[in-house]
Structure 1
């Protein structure tokens, strides 16, 4: 029988996990003893766009329902939106608490939660340095008390340490060798969100996707929620319900970095038509910011690192960045310590080479 553990012990156990999937599983195993819940969804997010990416772990959630949940989030819901919580002073909120005990003010509650017997939802954005690295949804069914203020604060205390650990997983390099999978995958979704076409490259990329919630399509292809989510986000942007771009970076089962982005097309009449989703190998320029954030380099340290990668001397770096040579040496020393290297060659190899050794040169 599991015993209740404190927040610090929970953080310690979770952050020792070797992968984000196992970290979510560790949290799922132990958190419900401290903050009881009946179902949950744990999602990693792209820190630049705030969109869900892989991995996603669900607990006691019926297959196929996650996509419907996200439709409410993008198109009708106005309470406790994840995009708002990502910028809020406190990135955690309960539906019951936020509505003053009137959850029926929520379209998500009326159309999705209540029909499934859910009484309250506690949401959290896992963020660090102002960037969201994960979303959490905890659900309680009818008959249980709503989530309390103390429980909300308990989850709030988890948010930053868990986000920092999620960010750190980008440091794990891929050991996948080149295998010719460098094409462009294309999927087309109709206005109702149904997949209507997919090319062969898309099918091959989808075979590399890690486990997670998927939807079976009429084409016999299982579409991961994070891929389907880009199509939904593109449509929401086209309808001016969302802003920004429908774009995520993600890792395959082999650790390969991929990028998935979408746009919504218009027909000759001006009406919104299909949403086109593209999956392809991620270029170095897309992956480098994630790795830099994982090593917690400052903006200035990144600038110095980029100069080192170009082969510039300390004096040249000082002149280009308008710093003294002494300051440049201090930055380089700090960078070496953060990355655990002792030379410029090791730095370039660790930060720029080992993550891309399997990429085709054209992707750089």
Structure 2
């Protein structure tokens, strides 16, 4: 990266460090990127790096829920994420039925063009950013696509820094686990009271939890469970702790119905994703798994054929990466 692209790349990391909420992050990344690639709206989604399910979502002047879901289904069928991981990280769509570089659907009504950026780094898909322009605006150019492509990895690093900047802490959520049944029409057909509360937390901008404003993360898990013909999982990072969403396709007369369980993420469910987000190495994770078993340092050293000094060094690295100060804080953060 050179010149303006390099400057903006550094600024993106600073903005991610300062952002407190997901909407804060979306606006900050959009503002910085807009200095090189002007746009009228955006949709930002983070992905669980292992399950490839949506784990954070925000937008401003973006598509409505119906269009987002229609395009997500089309993208999944076209394997857009795999294409972007294999080659260029950027694709352009234009409206009015013109030829597109990715997928086979046009930009929804009211918009004239779309530029989508796969936020990939080290062969991991961390999320995606869609920039849109209103109908009548100039389409995104090849030069703008090249600038966006150069910023794809800094954007991915910024998204990862935002998540990894949340210290690993015990969940502050007092809600009991909730279960919502999402029908084939993507509406909630039944739910426990706690599930409604969870969905309000996941989609605070929504006015209801049983109509079109169903939280994007909940819809995504239900969609992926249908697509997989069984189950899907996402781990949601928040400042008040991690939330686990588990979708399971139901058997019975209503084809496509999915039960989505929402609860604070248990440690064993959380550990694989945390290891990726926080950059925990294979050796560090092996130590961490033994810590979760409650073993003292000497026993861990014998099991892993390491010296106690090396085990402690690995623990110090884990503490630094996850923002905790002791084994007790680490254990409570993964409780």
The 2-side partners of 1:284 and 1:37 are apart by 40
User: Under a length normalisation based on structure 1, what TM-score does the superposition of the two structures give?
Assistant: 0.75
Paired residues of 2:244 and 2:265 also in contact (CA < 8 A): yes
Please provide the CA RMSD for this pair: 3.3
Against the structure 1 CA distance between its residues 171 and 291, is the aligned structure 2 distance closer, same or farther, given a 3 Å change threshold?
farther
CA offsets per residue over residues 277-329 of structure 1, 9 Å max, x none? Answer: 22123211122334333442211112123335533344x43432234x2xx52
- SS of residue in 2 equivalent to 1:272: coil
The answer to whether the aligner puts 1:249 opposite 2:235 as a matched pair is: yes
The CA distance in 2 between the partners of 1:223 and 1:138, in whole Å, is 22
3-state secondary structure, aligned to 2:328: helix
- TM-score scaled by length of structure 2: 0.80
Do the aligned partners of 1:71 and 1:232 also contact (CA within 8 Å) in 2?
Answer: no
Q: Is 1:173–2:169 an aligned residue pair?
A: yes
Q: Structure 1: how far apart are the matches of 2:14 and 2:101? A: 37
Aligned to 2:139: 145
Would the alpha carbon gap of residues 295 and 145 (structure 1) be closer, same or farther in structure 2, given more than 3 Å must change? closer
Separation of aligned partners in 2, 1:51 and 1:11: 24
Please name the residue that 2:81 is paired with. 82
| Alignment correspondent of 1:71 | 70
Equivalent residues in 2 for 1:5-24, closer than 5 Å:
6-21=7-22, 22-24=24-26
Deviation at 1:32, TM superposition (A): 0.9
1:53–1:226 contact (8 Å) kept in structure 2: yes
Structure 1 residues 348 and 229, CA gap change in structure 2 (3 angstroms): same
Q: How does 1:257-296 map to 2 (within 5 A)?
A: 257-267=242-252, 272-296=255-279
Deviations 1:51-97 (Å, cap 9, x if unpaired)? 1123x2212125xx234322332257655723543x3244333346x
8 A Cα contact 2:11 2:32, kept in partner: yes
Cα distance in structure 2, aligned partners of 1:208 and 1:336: 34
The verdict on how the C-alpha distance between 1:107 and 1:79 changes in structure 2, with shifts beyond 3 A counting, is same
Contact 1:187-1:197 within 8 A present in 2 as well:
yes
Change (3 A) 1:137 1:348: same
Q: Tell me the distance in 2 between the aligned counterparts of 1:258 and 1:300.
A: 26
Name stretches of at least 5 consecutive residues in structure 2 with no aligned partner. Answer: none
**CA, structure 1 residues 66+317, in 2 after alignment: closer, same or farther (shift >3 Å)?**
same
CA distance in 2: counterparts of 1:237 and 1:261, whole angstroms: 13
Residue 159 of structure 1 corresponds to which residue in structure 2?
A: 155
Corresponding position of 2:120: 127
Q: Deviations over 1:201-232 (max 9, x none)?
A: 212222333535x4746x57952111122222
Q: Confirm or deny that 1:322 pairs with 2:322.
A: no
Aligned counterpart in structure 1 of residue 288 of structure 2, from 275, 280, 305: 305
Structure 1: stretches of 5+ with no match in the other structure: 239-243, 357-363
Q: 1:124 to 1:174 in 2, by over 3 A?
A: farther
Contact 1:265 1:276 in 2 (8 A): yes
SS at match of 2:329: helix
Deviates more, 1:76-85 or 1:294-303: 76-85
Change (3 A) 1:307 1:77: closer
Instruction: Please give the per-residue CA displacement for 1:98-151, whole angstroms capped at 9, x wherever unaligned.
Output: xxx712984431xxx1522322x2222323443333221112344413232422
Q: What secondary structure, in the 3-state scheme, does the structure 2 residue paired with 1:187 have?
A: strand
| C-alpha contact (below 8 Å) 1:250/1:257 kept by paired residues | yes
**1:198 positional shift:** 1.7
Distance 1:20 1:302 in 2: 28
Cα distance in 2 for residues equivalent to 1:159 and 1:312: 40
1-side partners of 2:202 and 2:74: how far apart?
27
SS in 1 for 2:129: strand
The corresponding residue for 1:336 is: 316
Structure 2 partner of 1:102: 99
